[in-house]
Amino acid sequence: MKIRVKAMLVGAALVAAAGVTSAVAQTDLTAYHYVYYADAAKTEYLGEISDRGCGRSGSYSYVLRANVPSPYFDATPIYVCGGNGPTLPENW
C-alpha cells in the first residue's frame, strides 16, 4: 500500500471518529450548587459555591461553571440553562 493511501485511510478514520465523538458528547446544561469538603469522607466542611449563570454564543447555550476548590463535594441541581436563560424543569 502506498503512503498516500495509508494517509488517506488514517485521515478518514480520524474524521469518522471525530463525528462519532461529537454526536455522542452532549453538553450538561444543568447548573449546580456545590458543598465542598477537605476529605473524602466529607467530614470537614470547607464551604459552598454555585455555578454562576448561563451563557450563550449564537445558538449554543452553556453553564458558567464555578471553580470548586476541592475534589470532594456534593452537587445539587438548581436550574437548567436553555435558549431563554435559566429555567426550572417541571419534574423538579
Bin 8: left if φ > 0, else alpha if -120 < ψ < 50, else beta: alpha
So what's the pLDDT on residue 66? 97
Q: Is residue 61 part of a domain?
A: yes
Least Cα distance to 51 among 25, 89, 77 occurs for 77
Region of residue 28 (phi > 0: left; psi between -120 and 50: alpha; otherwise: beta): beta
> What is the spatial distance between Cα 71 and Cα 46, in angstroms, rounded to a whole number?
12
Predicted local confidence at residue 83, as pLDDT: 83
- Residue 40 pLDDT: 97
The C-alpha cell that represents 7 in the structure block:
494517509
Residue 74 confidence (pLDDT) = 98
In degrees, to the nearest 5, what angle opens at C-alpha 17 toward C-alphas 2 and 30? 165
Q: What is the pLDDT of residue 91?
A: 77
| Structural domain total, the chain | 1
pLDDT of residue 13: 52
Is residue 8 in some structural domain? no
Question: Is residue 3, in this structure, part of any structural domain at all?
Answer: no
In a domain, 81, yes or no: yes
Residue 13 within a domain? no
Task: Give me the pLDDT at residue 4, please.
Answer: 56
Q: Which domain holds residue 67?
A: 27-87
- pLDDT beneath 70: ranges in the chain: 1-27
